[in-house]
Amino acid sequence: MAANTRPAGILPATPANIRHAAAALRAGELVGLPTETVYGVAARADDPAAIARLFRAKGRDESKQVARFVADLDGVRAAGATVSDVARRLAAAFWPGPLTLVLPGADGAWLGFRAPAHDVAQAWLRELGGVIPAVTSANRSGKAPAGTAAAAWAALSPHLSMVLDGGPVTGGQPSTVLRVAGAEAEILRPGPITAEHLARIPGLHLRST
């Protein structure tokens, strides 16, 4: 294969291709896309068959939840999660950015949400028209996260409809995962947003781990 030839499933992140990737997600297909940290793979969150394909693609334990991508807190509320004053302050301080907020849902379950700070991801979310995607890193479970569209495609291509190529991403480290109930918070996964960053949020009580 010539050095300048890309696989057909890797698409430059033009407006037309971003719309195409949004239509594919709405139709139940798996789509890869860049974030500011790593490349992700997305499935429609309200489509059980698509979520099952996502877990099979990753080789991931189905007991592990997948975070949802939203543009802002309106998407969180639309999904039925409870947004406390502290959660609102966290979103105002760190969204869009590498912080996943795990919040209580209406049925008592915990739901994770993140607003990615990448222009391609944000444009794609706008094209989804209110459909909420579940997104996780585009790699086989236990393997290194993908920092390029080519790496994401190589890891998951038998399962992907396409990958939007937004160039290499430099974050490298997956997002911080923070569970928030009222004013109480607990770091479930360390990441770019550290305990020192979180301590600046008024009213937040961070549990030690």
What confidence tens digit (pLDDT) does each residue in 178-204 have? 999 999 999 999 999 999 999 999 999
More confident residue, 173 or 103: 103
pLDDT at 1 over 50: no
pLDDT computed for residue 2 by the predictor: 45
Which own/partner pairs from 124-130 qualify as long-range (CB within 8 Å, at least 24 positions apart)? 124/18, 124/21, 124/22, 124/33, 124/164, 125/69, 125/70, 125/71, 126/71, 127/18, 127/19, 127/21, 127/22, 128/22, 128/25, 128/26, 129/22, 129/26, 130/75, 130/78
pLDDT computed for residue 209 by the predictor: 59
Q: What is the pLDDT of residues 26-79, one digit of tens each?
A: 999 999 999 999 999 999 999 999 999 999 999 988 778 899 999 999 999 999
Q: Give CA–CA dist 125/149, Å, rounded.
A: 18
Torsion, CA 103, CA 51, CA 64, CA 73, rounded to 10: -20
Answer for the pair 34, 55: CB distance below 8 angstroms, yes or no.
Answer: no
The DSSP H or E segment spanning 119 is: helix 119-127
Give the fold, CATH level 3, of 10-71+115-174: DHBP synthase (3.90.870)
| Nearest Cα to Cα of residue 136 among 17, 14, 50 | 50
Q: Which amino acid belongs to residue 176?
A: T
More confident residue, 174 or 155: 155
Helix (H, G, I), strand (E, B), or coil: what is residue 10? strand
Beta sheet of 205-206, edge-to-edge order: 10-12, 162-165, 31-34, 39-44, 133-137, 68-69, 110-114, 99-104, 176-181, 184-189, 205-206
**Per the structure block, which two tokens stand in for 135?**
């997104």
What mean pLDDT value characterizes the chain?
Answer: 93
**Per the structure block, which two tokens stand in for 114?**
């993140």
**pLDDT band with cut points at 50, 70 and 90 for residue 3:** very low
